[in-house]
Amino acid sequence: KIKIVSGRVNMYNIVLCDDDIKWLDLYKDYIEKFAFEKKISINLDYYESGEKLLFSLSDFGKEIHICIIDIYMDGITGIETAKKMREMGYDSTVIIFSTVSKDHVFEAFDLRSFNYLIKNELPYERFVEVLEEATRFSDSCLGNYFSFKLYSETCMVPLNDISHKKIHGMYLKDK
């Protein structure tokens, strides 16, 4: 089936990066509960350091819609991790910083972060509010795209990337 649709991500790729397993577990629970309540599909990965996250991105180059990063971690900081992500081309990734301090808020926004959460002041309701806004923003970054099935895979191509195509019967051909 061929259709042109306005952006809505089929499955959100969400990454958590925090060196404190307590926060990773809490955010994982929050995100899974949010996904269940909103009936959205998620793929959730988590890393205990910025180095591990960056290594995974450089090796596998996967698309990330939302990334929640702690600022104070052993090794490189969350600020440095986000900066390297932006340098690697993750410009449309929604970055949310999560930390215990307000000290780096201006640095965070210099990296075009979406939000800045203070861990000890973060009830589930506030986390969900930010995550819901982040999913809407991620959807809006998609714009309009051409969606089609190829075997069992759904493919999406931004309309801006398409030129000179013609539908002939059941086939798509060059003009």
pLDDT digits (tens, 9 = 90+) for 62-88: 788 999 999 999 999 999 999 999 999
pLDDT value at 172 more than 70: no
Nearest Cα to Cα of residue 120 among 19, 15, 22: 22
CB neighbour list of residue 136: distance below 8 Å, 6 or more residues apart: none
The tokens of 27 are what?
């955010």
pLDDT over 90 for what percent of the chain?
50
The sheet that has 144-150: what strands, in order across it? 3-6, 144-150, 153-158
Alpha carbon distances (Å) from 165 to 4, 129, 168, 174: 14, 41, 10, 5
pLDDT band at 144 (very low <50, low <70, confident <90, very high): low
b/e per residue 23-56 (b: at least 16 CB within 10 A): bbebbeebbeebbeeeeeebeeebbbbbbebbee
pLDDT band at 136 (very low <50, low <70, confident <90, very high): confident
One-letter amino acid for residue 49 of the chain? S
- Model pLDDT, residue 5: 45
Question: What mean pLDDT is predicted for residues 143-150?
Answer: 63
Q: What is the SS3 string spanning 9-56?
A: CCEEEEEEECCCHHHHHHHHHHHHHHHHHHCCEEEEEEECCHHHHHHH
CA distance 57 to 74: 19
pLDDT band at 26 (very low <50, low <70, confident <90, very high): very high
- Model pLDDT, residue 153: 64
Nearest Cα to Cα of residue 112 among 137, 136, 131: 137
- Model pLDDT, residue 151: 72
CA distance 65 to 51: 19
pTM (predicted TM-score): 0.77
- Model pLDDT, residue 109: 86
The tokens of 58 are what?
């450089």
pLDDT value at 3 more than 50: no
